[in-house]
């Protein structure tokens, strides 16, 4: 075993391959609800901006164009209610997963430092800690009551949650932010699903009700992948503490971590246009309602799931039994234990399939 592989967990999705093969064997084909990858068209306004900027022979900048930074600051005020955001408070990144995986390293964390994240969470939080040589630690509910502030250097929040769709209220976020500031813990809030609230209105850590109007000790991670079907373009962005972002910008300049100029133009167009986001929300809302009702009628319970692109569902059995059961129907879902031991009796059902495939899943669940 190499030194690198020894530091990293086993890539979980490889375990799903036999079930994917079984689902592919269904006469009407697979309905893949396992991965949250967009399937709908890239909005026309985004495609046009990309094409119009195609003649970009020079190197792009890591900090992004003025137009992109203006679009990010405008969006933050309009959508997050964040006050006083300027260019010092923004930093484009090469997709949010890249940032999650490398943030602890870029912050200079290592042996003796702890990186904390929810017990049910996106696996890349743990990967990022291990790549830096830091210690990954989890919390079940309230990090201020469960963690050692003397050792935790980076605290990940994730609201709306992947995989559960749980939303933390503003009061809970404000309490955590106050605790982190008291102890000098940097808070990184993964808010990539914030524009996809269904039964709750997600709040950013940069909202004045949470941060008190100051971005000190806070960075928020946002993505265009879900709200704008932008996953194939690879651009996300950070907002928050100007001092932290200044240091990250310098590191990323040295590392050449830049996004292509046409993609920056496309991102600016996506952030300036709210109409396509509303249209995409309607698509996901309709799919969510169909799948939710079909799963409930099939004997599932659904917990949290008040936001994001997933239903957190259970049949009261080991998650792999549920995966196998659905694979027999040609439906592939993600086992809950991919996201932590606390998910061992749940599965994550993604809303990211076409209307036709969602309808097929609903029909199969009804007939089984």
Q: Give the CATH number of the domain where residue 198 resides.
A: 3.40.640.10
Structural domain contains residue 331? yes
Q: 259 and 171 share a domain?
A: yes
* 3-class DSSP string for the chain: CCHHHHHCCCCHHHHHHHHHHHHHCCCCCCEECCCCCCCCCCCHHHHHHHHHCCCCCCCCCCCCCHHHHHHHHHHHHHHHCCCCCCHHHEEEECCHHHHHHHHHHHCCCCCCCEEEEECCCCCHHHHHHHHHCCEEEEECCCHHHHCCCCCEEEEEEECCCCCCCCCCCHHHHHHHHHHHHHHCCEEEEECCCCCCECCCCCCCCCCHHHHCCCCCCEEEEEECCCCCCCCCCCCEEEEECHHHHHHHHHHHHHHCCCCCHHHHHHHHHHHHCCHHHHHHHHHHHHHHHHHHHHHHHCCCEEECCCECCEEEEECCCCHHHHHHHHHHCCEECEEHHHHCHHHCCCEEEECCCCHHHHHHHHHHHHHC
The two three-digit tokens of residue 117, written as one number: 């994240």
Are the beta carbons of 16 and 23 closer than 8 angstroms?
Answer: no
318 in the same domain as 185 = no
* Domain-located, residue 46: no
* Domain membership flag for residue 21: yes
Last residue of a domain, one of 232, 251, 272: 272
Same domain for 268 and 158: yes
Measured CA to CA, the distance from residue 84 to residue 214 in angstroms comes to 9
Q: Which of 277, 260, 258, 310 is nearest to 42 (CA)?
A: 277
The CATH code of the domain that includes 312 is 3.90.1150.10
Among residues 221, 256, 272, the one where a domain terminates is: 272
Q: Is residue 87 part of a domain?
A: yes
User: 231 in a domain, yes or no?
Assistant: yes
139 and 226 fall within a common domain = yes
Instruction: Tell me, yes or no, whether 47 lies in a domain.
Output: no
Residue 292 CB neighbours (<10 A): 18
Domain boundary among 223, 242, 272: 272
d(CA 137, CA 175): 20
Rounded to a whole number of angstroms, the distance between the first and last alpha carbons of the chain is 44
Residues 121 and 17 in one domain: no
Give me 14's structure tokens.
Answer: 């490889």
What is the tally of structural domains in the chain? 2
Considering the domain architecture, whether residues 102 and 155 belong to the same structural domain is answered as: yes
> What are the residue ranges in the chain where pLDDT is below 70?
1-6
The reply to whether 164 and 128 lie within a common domain is yes
One domain for residues 227 and 102: yes
What is the CA 220 to chain-centroid distance, rounded? 11
Q: What is the pLDDT of residue 143?
A: 97
* Domain hosting residue 323, numbered range: 3-41+276-367
Residues in contact with 59: Cβ distance below 8 Å, sequence separation at least 6, in sequence order: 258
Kindly state whether residues 239 and 323 are assigned to the same domain: no
Q: How many CB atoms lie within 10 A of CB 113?
A: 18
Same domain, 291 and 360: yes
Q: How far is it, in rounded angstroms, from Cα 363 to Cα 205?
A: 40
Same domain, 205 and 82: yes
Whole-number pLDDT of residue 14: 85
Residue partners of 152: CB distance under 8 A and separation at least 6:
114, 115, 116, 137, 143, 183, 185
Whether residue 48 lies inside any domain: the answer is no
Is 107 part of a structural domain of the chain? Answer: yes
Strands 310-314 and 347-350, bridge-based pairing: antiparallel
Distances (CA, A) of 84 to 50, 72, 214: 29, 13, 9
Are 142 and 263 within one domain? yes
């Amino acid at each position: 075993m190499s030194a690198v592989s020894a530091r990293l967990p086993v890539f979980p999705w490889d375990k799903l391959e036999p079930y994917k093969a079984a689902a592919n064997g269904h006469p009407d084909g697979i309905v893949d609800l396992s991965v949250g990858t967009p399937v709908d068209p890239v909005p026309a306004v985004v495609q046009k901006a990309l094409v119009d900027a195609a003649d970009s022979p020079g190197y792009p900048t890591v900090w992004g164009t003025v137009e992109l930074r203006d679009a990010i600051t405008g969006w933050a005020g309009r959508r997050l209610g964040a006050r006083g955001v300027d260019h010092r408070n923004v930093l484009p990144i090469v997709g949010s997963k890249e940032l999650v995986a490398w943030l602890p390293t870029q912050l200079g964390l290592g042996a003796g430092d702890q990186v904390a994240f929810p017990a049910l969470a996106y696996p890349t939080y743990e990967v990022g800690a291990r790549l830096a040589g830091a210690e990954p630690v989890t919390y079940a509910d309230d990090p201020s009551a469960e963690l050692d502030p003397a050792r935790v250097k980076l605290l990940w929040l994730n609201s709306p949650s992947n995989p559960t769709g749980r939303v933390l209220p503003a009061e809970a976020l404000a309490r955590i932010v106050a605790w982190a500031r008291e102890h000098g813990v940097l808070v990184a809030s993964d808010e990539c699903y914030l524009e996809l609230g269904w039964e709750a209105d997600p709040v950013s850590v940069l909202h004045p009700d949470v941060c008190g109007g100051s971005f000190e000790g806070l960075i928020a991670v946002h993505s265009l992948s879900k709200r704008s079907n932008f996953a194939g373009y690879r651009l996300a962005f950070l907002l928050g503490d100007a001092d932290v972002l200044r240091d990250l910008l310098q590191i990323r300049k040295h590392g050449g971590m830049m996004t292509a100029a046409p993609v920056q133009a496309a991102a600016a167009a996506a952030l300036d246009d709210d109409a396509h986001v509303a249209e995409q929300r309607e698509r996901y809302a309709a799919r969510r309602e169909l799948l939710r009702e079909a799963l409930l009628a099939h004997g599932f319970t659904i917990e949290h799931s008040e936001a994001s692109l997933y239903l957190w569902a259970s049949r009261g059995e080991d998650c792999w039994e549920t995966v196998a059961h659905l694979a027999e129907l040609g439906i592939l879902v993600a086992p809950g234990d991919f996201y932590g031991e606390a998910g061992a009796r749940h599965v994550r059902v993604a809303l990211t399939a076409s209307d036709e495939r969602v309808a097929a899943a609903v029909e199969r669940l009804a007939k089984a």
